[in-house]
């Protein structure tokens, strides 16, 4: 009963969120990342107060909205929990952890230098950026790549090491360009991004190995792009994508139609099979079984049966829907939909609320939930 089980699990999630939002509760901090100090010193400011670390190898839990300030000659690595996302902060950097959900992460950097390694594969059909960064002057978005940012109060420099990175000014987010691997661009205050330029291997290594954003000073950036040209190009690309999607849908419809016609022909051939025995073509037609006709006449049609006759009818979905048929019936990304309708940062979970839900589901629905420290470990169905 795969479908019923999945539906019940999502209903439980919605029920838990309802109890959480509609009852008073205290805030339970959710760890979002781990900080590792490789050398130097770092200061963390957040809900747990201000903490300073100076010993190489020190580790610290990082939570949403925590601010991180690195000292002189410092290297700090931040690992996002449950995701292949690593941030490496250089000396004298100011960084803040933002919204972290299943399908995307967001952070901000006010000043300094940082390298971002965002690995893993993203579904091709999704246009949503899995990692977003905000600076004083720029908005940066990626789906999977490796890149370096150098940030000041008036300028944001970008070097893409691998993959591709979207780059746009804060005041004109629709003027977005793509910076491919081994190329660099910059956004200055009140300006558009510069056209991406190729960087030499020597300059690339200088930027990567530098403990500040000074490594970008040897890059000869291009001219700022024309915002109207960028918007026009983007519109043309969107129109082409729409045309391609329409062509693909039409191709699928034609293929489905051809398959249906082929199935119909096969059924007709099975009903009438020609025979050349004796040089004469004979046609054999299956005769109706009188007993089957009698049963059919005694069985009321769906329209003739009253609504009350369906009470107690049981349908075994395992016999109707095979697991391999699900892709043809349901074509939605549940995780992405939940990310759109549920803002996990606003959820205030409490142990008391979860215990109430546990008893409520046990008494009314026979669902046993194993809850430890506010985390659902297991769900058993009677």
List average pLDDT for each run of 10 residues in the chain, which is 382 residues long: 54 59 49 94 94 96 95 96 94 95 91 92 59 94 90 96 95 94 96 96 95 93 95 87 84 85 76 54 50 49 41 42 42 49 46 62 64 54 52
**Rounded Cα gap, residues 150 and 137, in angstroms:** 11
Can you give the pLDDT at residue 379? Answer: 57
**Rounded Cα gap, residues 292 and 286, in angstroms:** 13
Can you give the pLDDT at residue 344? Answer: 45
**Rounded Cα gap, residues 163 and 12, in angstroms:** 39
Can you give the pLDDT at residue 54? Answer: 96
Structure tokens at 80: 């996002």
**Distance of alpha carbon 90 from the chain centroid:** 28
Structure tokens at 181: 């691997």
Give, for 44, the enclosing helix (H) or strand (E): strand 42-46
Answer for the pair 116, 144: CB distance below 8 angstroms, yes or no: no
């Amino acid at each position: 009963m795969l479908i019923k089980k999945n539906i019940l699990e999502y209903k439980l999630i919605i029920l838990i969120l309802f109890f959480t939002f509609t009852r008073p509760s205290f805030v339970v901090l959710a760890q979002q990342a781990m900080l590792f100090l490789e050398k130097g010193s770092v200061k963390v400011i957040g809900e747990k107060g201000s903490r300073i670390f100076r010993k190489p190898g020190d580790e610290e839990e990082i939570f949403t909205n925590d601010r991180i300030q690195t000292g002189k000659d410092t290297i700090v690595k931040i690992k996002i929990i449950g995701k292949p996302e690593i941030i490496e902060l250089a000396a004298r950097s100011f960084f803040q952890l933002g919204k972290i959900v299943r399908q995307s992460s967001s952070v901000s950097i006010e000043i300094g230098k940082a390298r971002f390694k965002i690995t893993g594969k993203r579904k091709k059909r999704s246009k949503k950026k899995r990692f977003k960064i905000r600076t004083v002057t720029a908005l940066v978005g990626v789906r999977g790549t490796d890149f370096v940012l150098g940030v000041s109060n008036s300028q944001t420099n970008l070097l893409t090491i691998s993959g591709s990175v979207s780059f746009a000014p804060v005041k004109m987010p629709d003027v977005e360009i793509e910076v491919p691997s081994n190329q660099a661009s910059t956004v200055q205050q009140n300006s558009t991004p510069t056209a991406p330029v190729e960087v030499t291997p020597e300059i690339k290594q200088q930027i990567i190995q530098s403990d500040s954003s000074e490594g970008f000073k040897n890059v000869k950036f291009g001219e700022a792009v024309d915002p109207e040209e960028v918007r026009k190009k983007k519109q043309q690309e969107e129109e082409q994508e729409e045309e391609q999607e329409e062509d693909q849908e039409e191709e699928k419809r034609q293929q489905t139609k051809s398959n249906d016609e082929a199935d119909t022909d096969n059924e007709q051939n099975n009903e009438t099979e020609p025979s050349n025995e004796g040089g004469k073509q004979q046609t054999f037609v299956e005769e109706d079984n009188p007993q089957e006709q009698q049963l059919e006449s005694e069985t009321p049609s769906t329209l003739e049966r009253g609504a009350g006759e369906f009470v107690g009818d049981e349908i075994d979905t395992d016999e109707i829907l095979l697991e391999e048929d699900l892709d043809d019936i349901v074509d939605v990304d549940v995780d992405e939909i939940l990310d759109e309708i549920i803002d996990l940062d606003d959820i205030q979970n409490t142990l008391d609320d979860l215990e109430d839900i546990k008893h409520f589901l046990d008494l009314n629905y026979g669902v046993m939930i194993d809850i430890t420290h506010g985390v659902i470990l297991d769900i058993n169905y009677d």
